[in-house]
A = this chain, B = another copy of it.
Amino acid sequence: MSLVTDKPLRKDAERNRRLILDVALELFEQRGLGVTLNDIAHHAGVGVGTVYRRFPDKTALIESLFEQKLQELVALMQAAIADPDPWHGLTGFLEGALELQSHDLALKDLVLDTPEGMKRVCRIRSRLMPLGIELVRRAHASGQLRADIGPTDIPMIQLMVMNVIDGAREVDPQLWRRYLQIVLQGLRADPGPPAPLEIPPLQHDAVDRVMSATKLPRR
Taking beta carbons and an 8 Å cutoff, which residues of A are in contact with B?
Answer: 31-32, 34-35, 109, 111-114, 129, 146, 148-153, 155-157, 159-164, 167, 175, 178-179, 181-191, 193-194, 196-197, 201-204, 206-207, 210-212, 214-219
Contacts and interface: CB of A to CB of B under 8 A. Distances in A.
Contact of A160 (B32, B114, B153, B163): B163
Contacts of A31: 219
Nearest to A219: B34
A120 to B, nearest CB: 17
8 smallest beta-carbon distances between A and B, as pairs: A215-B217, A34-B219, A186-B186, A150-B201, A185-B186, A182-B186, A160-B160, A152-B202
16 contacts: A113-B214, A146-B194, A148-B196, A150-B202, A152-B206, A153-B182, A153-B202, A156-B179, A159-B167, A162-B163, A181-B186, A182-B183, A182-B186, A191-B191, A215-B217, A216-B217
Nearest to A201: B150
**Oligomer copy total:** 2
Given A156-B207, A191-B191, 17 more contacts: A32-B217, A32-B219, A129-B204, A148-B196, A148-B197, A152-B201, A153-B202, A156-B164, A156-B201, A156-B202, A157-B182, A159-B210, A160-B179, A163-B163, A186-B186, A215-B218, A215-B219
Given A163-B163, A182-B186, A187-B182, A156 B210 contact: yes
A194 B186 CA distance: 8
Contacts of A203: 152
